[in-house]
Structure 1
Amino acid sequence: MEKSMIGLWDTTGNEVVKALAAERRSAGGVASGMALTLIVVVDEKRVREAEAAATIAAAAHPCRLVVVVRSEIERDRNRLDAEIVVGGRLGPCEAVVTRMYGRLALHAESVVMPLLVPDVPVVTWWHGEPPAEIATDFLGVVADRRITDSAQAADPVEALRQRARDYAPGDTDLAWTRITPWRTLVAGAFDTASEQVVEATVVAPPSDPTAALMVGWLSSRLGITPHRVDTDEFPRMREVRLSCANGDQLTLTREDSMAVFRRTGQDDRALPLVRRPLGDELAEELRRLDADQVYAEALGATAGLRGLEQRPPQRVHVWKDPATAQRAEAGVTAHTGTSGES
């Protein structure tokens, strides 16, 4: 049962702010204890999944959670529905779940900005296909950190390349978070050795964005060009092989929730390689609120772009009306059809 919850239907942003303040007083919420504001942009069908992940992350990082669900932007009439939860099913965080309809959905910042906790960082997470350009979404521009998930795109590897083209310091992607265990194991293999790696191979499905970033990370760290071996036998990255200048071979192979580590002249070792829940991945990214230079270098190597970490950290909002774009596209199509008939 909810400790404190209120629903507002066909309301206004001002009413949401006032209702949140009242619920906070009723539940004893203290905004000064918040570490950040987490904005989640998500489709209606995935709201519960996003809430479950944010609940896990909020347990480690007390935050105000603002969920933005945009729907039916072509509707003639604007409408805002909101659900305010303080405690209860979403854990220790203060949460506002907003559902925006009509043209209001294109101006979500008018509702979200008054809900931000003063003087704490803002993180925006898109739980769905990442935006082509973050500067076209004010909720990304206002954030200190921006979390995307290229695995949600139709072409995950191309989405990563777009992330590189659009990159600004403060951006990150959950595909990067998912290779943290792999990077830890690879780096740990050299704790007691200093041989130079002269060749690397990554075995993975061709559409796996984690493998693409692993190749980029190895390239940026080792100064070599790793090989990709594509396989459709496994759903995600299967193996990383390293060849050293002294002839030693190091191999990490995924076996369910374990990795088998093999090294020339040593016995095989089984090491943990557990696939973590989405909430744990999100919590990891919330641990740091500065720019991730290692990620920038790996992403740049993945896309063949240099100097990503040297780009200006500030983003400037660029307004693009999707309805205008649709009308322009429809006009081009109609014109093309007419020309074809003449």
Structure 2
Amino acid sequence: MIGLWDTTGNEVVKALAAERRSAGGVASGMALTLIVVVDEKRVREAEAAATIAAAAHPCRLLVVVRSDVEREQSRLDAEIVVGGRLGPCEAVVMRMYGRLALHAESVVMPLLVPDVPVVTWWHSEPPSQIANDFLGVVADRRITDAAQAINPIDALRQRAQDYAPGDTDLAWTRITPWRTLVAGAFDTTAARVTDATVVAPKADPTAALMIGWLAARLGIKPRLQETTEHARMRSVELLCANGDHVVLTRENNMATFERTGQAERQLPLTRRPLGDELAEELRRLDADQVYAEALSATTGLGGLDLRPAQRVHIWKDPTPPRRPAAPAASGSSKSHAPATAPGGSAK
């Protein structure tokens, strides 16, 4: 590992090239560049997840930690790791302070691997508009997590309003095992589903997307049965046109599958590590149309997949403007002579 303190972007680029040479090209076959935008308190968690994902998708990992943006003097500290504690990837962890944190692209852009896709992941509260962050605009895929927002359901609505093809959310990724089991229940029957009920907490974004997915796929209006006894989605119940009931209920890391006329079955339904969820999203670099349809059904905003995929950067300074200095108090004992022009006349 190389540590650079109070450095510059050019020095980071040179140090990364030198470390690659000394490591003998450990990560020469990189599939993508993964940019991680994270708060300082979640850096280790993000690094652990990215390490798992990089094992399946060799990448250059660029971790951007923004801190103290109102600081008067900008500063950049960087750690460079090639084939070390962060797995088989090239990793640069950059801590940016002051106004530099608002222009992270000036350091990140020279570090992008040429001719490979770029994925940006916010392991923090999702941005209200991705176009306000150049690190999102430059990416082919953009990964957010509505569960980290103060109000996850409002965050999903914001994701729909701001959606562009290539966006996805880890709240959607977390229901992949649920969707697999529900879809598998109809491998042996063609019965039409007429009604659906999802039991979950009111503020669970995974349940909201599950309802949206069922609505988009089945053309029905699923209902949410609110529960306060469980912290996450508890069960999905489907009613078929032939009178059959299909119920999938989670209990710890297992699911009980019940169907009219059949014996109960126990199926695995574990909560995956964050790194596995991230790795799943890195498997595809095109737009996820099924997610767009589910998000559209969840929020009531249509035509998401018809929007242009290209984003245009919209600069927005998040720091409040500084107040001007207070004027001198009137009635001061000091006398002030009038300003005099070069020719001697007062102005």
Using the size of structure 1 for normalisation, the TM-score is: 0.93
Distance 1:31 1:88, change over 3 A: closer
The alpha carbon displacement at 1:327 in A equals 3.5
Please point out which of 212, 216, 221 is paired with 1:220: 216
State the SS of the aligned residue for 1:33. Answer: coil
The alpha carbon displacement at 1:32 in A equals 4.5
Corresponding residue for residue 88 of structure 2: 92
1:61 aligns with 2:60: no
Paired residue type of 1:290: D
Contact 2:26 2:88 in 1 (8 A): no
Aligned length: 324
1:23 aligns with 2:19: yes
State the SS of the aligned residue for 1:38. Answer: strand
Which whole-Å CA distance do the structure 2 matches of 1:48 and 1:227 have between them? 38
Contact 1:31 1:117 in 2 (8 A): no
Which whole-Å CA distance do the structure 2 matches of 1:226 and 1:164 have between them? 19
Corresponding residue for residue 268 of structure 1: 264
Corresponding residue for residue 112 of structure 2: 116
Corresponding residue for residue 206 of structure 1: 202
Please point out which of 322, 328, 333 is paired with 2:318: 322
State the SS of the aligned residue for 1:251. Answer: strand
The alpha carbon displacement at 1:28 in A equals 1.2
Paired residue type of 2:154: E
Which whole-Å CA distance do the structure 1 matches of 2:169 and 2:81 have between them? 28
Which whole-Å CA distance do the structure 1 matches of 2:306 and 2:185 have between them? 30
The alpha carbon displacement at 1:30 in A equals 5.7
Contact 1:202 1:226 in 2 (8 A): yes
Corresponding residue for residue 125 of structure 1: 121
How far does the alpha carbon of each residue in 1:203-234 deviate from its partner, in whole angstroms, 9 at most, with x for none? Answer: 00001000000000000000010011010100
State the SS of the aligned residue for 2:122. Answer: strand
Q: How does 1:245-284 map to 2 (within 5 A)?
A: 245-284=241-280
State the SS of the aligned residue for 1:164. Answer: helix
Which whole-Å CA distance do the structure 2 matches of 1:327 and 1:28 have between them? 48
Which whole-Å CA distance do the structure 2 matches of 1:45 and 1:211 have between them? 28
Q: How does 1:1-342 map to 2 (within 5 A)?
A: 5-29=1-25, 32-323=28-319, 326-327=320-321
Which whole-Å CA distance do the structure 1 matches of 2:275 and 2:97 have between them? 28
User: Identity over the aligned pairs, expressed in percent?
Assistant: 81
Contact 2:165 2:287 in 1 (8 A): yes
Runs of 4+ in 1 over 4 A off after TM superposition: none
State the SS of the aligned residue for 1:241. Answer: strand
Which whole-Å CA distance do the structure 2 matches of 1:320 and 1:208 have between them? 30
Larger CA Rg, structure 1 vs 2: 2
Paired residue type of 1:74: E
Paired residue type of 1:327: P
State the SS of the aligned residue for 1:235. Answer: coil
Paired residue type of 1:120: V
Which whole-Å CA distance do the structure 1 matches of 2:27 and 2:135 have between them? 21
State the SS of the aligned residue for 2:81. Answer: strand
Higher helix share: 1
Corresponding residue for residue 342 of structure 2: none
Q: Please provide the CA RMSD for this pair.
A: 1.2
Paired residue type of 1:217: W
Contact 2:27 2:83 in 1 (8 A): no
The alpha carbon displacement at 1:321 in A equals 0.5
Which whole-Å CA distance do the structure 2 matches of 1:289 and 1:111 have between them? 24
Paired residue type of 1:145: R
How far does the alpha carbon of each residue in 1:231-268 deviate from its partner, in whole angstroms, 9 at most, with x for none? Answer: 01001000000000011000000011000000000000
The alpha carbon displacement at 1:29 in A equals 1.9
Using the size of structure 2 for normalisation, the TM-score is: 0.92
